[in-house]
Amino acid sequence: MARYSKTDFPLHDARCHLETGPIVLVSSAWQGDTNIMTMGWHTMLQFTPALFGCYLWDGNHSYDLIRRSGECVINVPTADLADAVVGIGNCTGSRLDKFEAFGLTAMAGSRVNAPLIDECYANFECRLVDDRQVDEYGLFIWEIVQAHVAPAVTEPETLHYRGKGQFRVAGRVLDYSDRFKPQNL
């Protein structure tokens, strides 16, 4: 598995790595317990500050760690991690150290205690800023407080869930920057 050298990244540009809807791996930590979960339901909500929303099921082991800590890291894997993404989603961290089981490297965050996954090309450290919809809807609203992106990965082959156990791999860029108005999206 590849490991990426990353540099600090502008927070207001986090959308170019998250808004496309890739499958992400959410890492969390609370009182020495760490976990990783696979997530497909998330969205950018605001760009300055960078706000990110996601759904977490309260029966998931990560839910309790995240609810207690108020922190997580959104890690963006590429297609070379597809087996790990599926495996992580098919097991519970209450019985298994997923970092060890799937050969992933936990790296210390600079702004949160949840670990970054070094094998993912992008990592977004998040702090919970709005929990008003958590109890009723499971909707967490995060502020991205630090972003790390591997500059060498210019066209990441990200995974996008299609349902029924199928994923699509993205990576090709169509450039309409000369005529599209991004503020209208």
Residue 116 belongs to a domain with what CATH number? 2.30.110.10
In a domain, 64, yes or no: yes
Model confidence at 19, in pLDDT bands (50, 70, 90)?
low
Quote the domain boundaries for residue 46.
Answer: 7-184
In a domain, 132, yes or no: yes
pLDDT of residue 161: 85
State yes or no: cis peptide before 10, omega within 30 of 0: no
Which among 158, 145, 170 has a CA at the least distance from the CA of 52? Answer: 145
In a domain, 135, yes or no: yes
- Dihedral Cα 63, 66, 118, 24, nearest 10 deg: 50
Ranking 23-27, 44-48, 160-164 by mean pLDDT, the lowest is: 160-164
Structure tokens at 45: 């909500």
Share above pLDDT 70 across residues of the chain, in percent, rounded to a whole number: 94
Quote the CA–CA distance of 168 and 177 in Å, as a whole number: 24
Q: What is the mean pLDDT of the chain?
A: 91
pLDDT of residue 72: 98
Q: Which residues make Cβ contacts (< 8 Å) with residue 102, sequence separation at least 6?
A: 36, 84, 87, 88
Give the DSSP letter of residue 154.
S
Quote the CA–CA distance of 143 and 175 in Å, as a whole number: 29
pLDDT of residue 79: 96
In a domain, 145, yes or no: yes
* Number of domains observed in the structure of the chain: 1
pLDDT of residue 167: 85
For residue 77, the Cα-to-chain-centroid distance in whole angstroms is 8
Which has more confidence, 179 or 83?
Answer: 83
In a domain, 39, yes or no: yes
